[in-house]
Every structure is written in C-alpha cells, then in structure tokens.
Amino acid sequence: MTGFRVECSTRYCHHEKRVEFGALGLPDDTVFLEIQKLRRFVCEKCGGREATVGADWNEYYDALNRRRAERPNDLREGFDVMTTNTASASMPATYVKQREKCEKLLKLAKELEQFARARPDNFLDDRQFRTLLAEFHEQYKAVHDGMS
C-alpha cells in the first residue's frame, strides 16, 4: 500500500482524506501503528485535531479486482464447468437429483427476475408471473426438503 486514510474524529465532522506515506517524510522502517503518535493531523474542514488513522482498503480492492479480471475465463466461470453432466457419473444418485433440483430452482429464479425487469410496473398482477412464482415455491420446498 502506498497510502492510508485519515478520518476526523470530532463530533459531526468525520471528514476523510487519503494521505501518501511519502508525504509524511518518515523513515521507511516506521511501523504503521506509530504514525498517529509521530505526526499530528489537523482536519482541513473543521480544524479539529482528533484524527483516526486507518488502512486505505480501496487500493487493495482495486488491485484484487485487476488480478481477477486478468484470470482466464475458465477459472472465473469454474462453477459452470463443474456443473456439466460428465461429472455426475461418479456421484451418488441422491446428490445428482438434488443438484438437478437446485439447477432448476436457479433457472426459475432467473426467469422470475427477467420477467420482473421486463414489466417493472405491473408484473405482480400478471398471471404468468404468479404461475412461475408458484412453481418456484414448489421447487424451493422440494430442494429444502431434500436437504433436511
């Protein structure tokens, strides 16, 4: 990480700013937890001197998302690769049936979502939607009963 976050701790302010490590002029071997003791921070918004220093996780998550985007598609979509019927030959029959029920439930959920997005104003009044919803509830109950 190249920086950290400083938040004003005064009542009602909570102004937040990102600070680069190099801007502090501290030695490279400075422990992160000691920064608040070595430097006094003053809020640019209210002038308060009560500050909380914390890690800037946005930089970490940005790097993580870049690494995820660089992965090959077969790793990102590994679940779809695993659900092919070739794997079911070695699985117990009850597991295969339960998985098929779950896949059907997922398919119904996607159909319900598409239906609701296509008709956002009046989908609840539609007979076809209610039929799909009833089928979804039956399938959900079948999946739930099969797991217990």
Q: Where are the domains of the chain?
A: 3-61, 78-147
Contacts of 91 (CB under 8 A, 6+ apart): 99
- Read off the pLDDT of each residue in 130-141 and give the average, rounded to a whole number: 85
Answer whether 15's CB lies under 8 Å from 43's CB.
yes
Q: How far apart are the first and last CA of the chain?
A: 46
Contacts of 95 (CB under 8 A, 6+ apart): none
17: β partners: 6
Share of residues in the chain with pLDDT > 90 (%): 1
76 — pLDDT class (breaks 50, 70, 90): very low
pLDDT reported for residue 81: 43
